[in-house]
Structure 1
Amino acid sequence: MRQHLTDSKINAIVGIIDGWTGKLTWNLLIEKIEPTTGRYSRQSLEKQPRIKSAFNIRKEHLRGRSKSSKENLSIVETKLVERLERLEAENNRLKKENNSLLEQFVRWQYNASARGITANQLNEALPSIDREASKPTRNSRPTVFRGDRRVKT
């Protein structure tokens, strides 16, 4: 059974994409990430918005880059330029992710307001979890939700 992409694997893949130099294709990316994260299909990677966005941003950046700009640089300078490009790519990707999250927050804020949910209700603390009561007791019955009501079965 294939494992799902976890947040840590997605972060690792996005980091690889941010530092990518040269031609970028889904097949080349799959080959590059396989030793660290395992083998995933293009479709699996493309389903993840962060990976897809990072891929598209980096690919667009690589298309517009001048190849002759690094020809007369020393090895140290070349490494510094590559690091700078990777950090710029990461910065651009994070800006776009942040804007996307801000848009989502505004959408949620509007929807909550339209349904009469107040800011205080949204900011309430999460209920605590009683880790000791993870096994149902003999007298407890599961709760079933029907519409807006709870019904003990």
Structure 2
Amino acid sequence: MVKRRAKNIDDCALERIVGVLDGWAAKLSWDLFVDEIENRLGVRYTRQALDKHARIKMAYQSTKQRLSKAPGPEKQKKLSSQELGPIMERLERLAAENARLKVENEHILEQFVTWAYNAYLKGLTKEYLNTPLPLVDRELTKNALGKKYGAQE
């Protein structure tokens, strides 16, 4: 049997792959991650293909960091029902915040697409749009404002 190349990672696959990392609670390695993606998406990507995408790479590193800070099963204690109430409230609040941020992110992405299209119509290149902002000389600004309003140096 000939191995076929996996399909390219599109936005939908990218979202699902990052979602896998959001819910990851066990030991994390690239091999385990690749296997889990294959189980969920039915496509086997290589570590290199996944690592090439900045969003996946950042999510992977963030998950690794989160897991390294989490207490192990031997350090976890049993929570009483009194302690669970505030934790559940916080969880619900964070879930609501997460949903709100997703909506806000969608609006920002829509705005970006609009700007990109309008820039394309005006003939602006990606290089031009990615030109860094000029540095701000704060001392010059303070001196100019001081003289304008009669402040002494």
Q: TM-score, structure 1 length as denominator?
A: 0.49
More strand as a share of residues? 1
Q: TM-score, structure 2 length as denominator?
A: 0.49
Question: Which structure ranks higher in relative contact order (CA pairs < 8 Å, sequence separation ≥ 6)?
Answer: 1
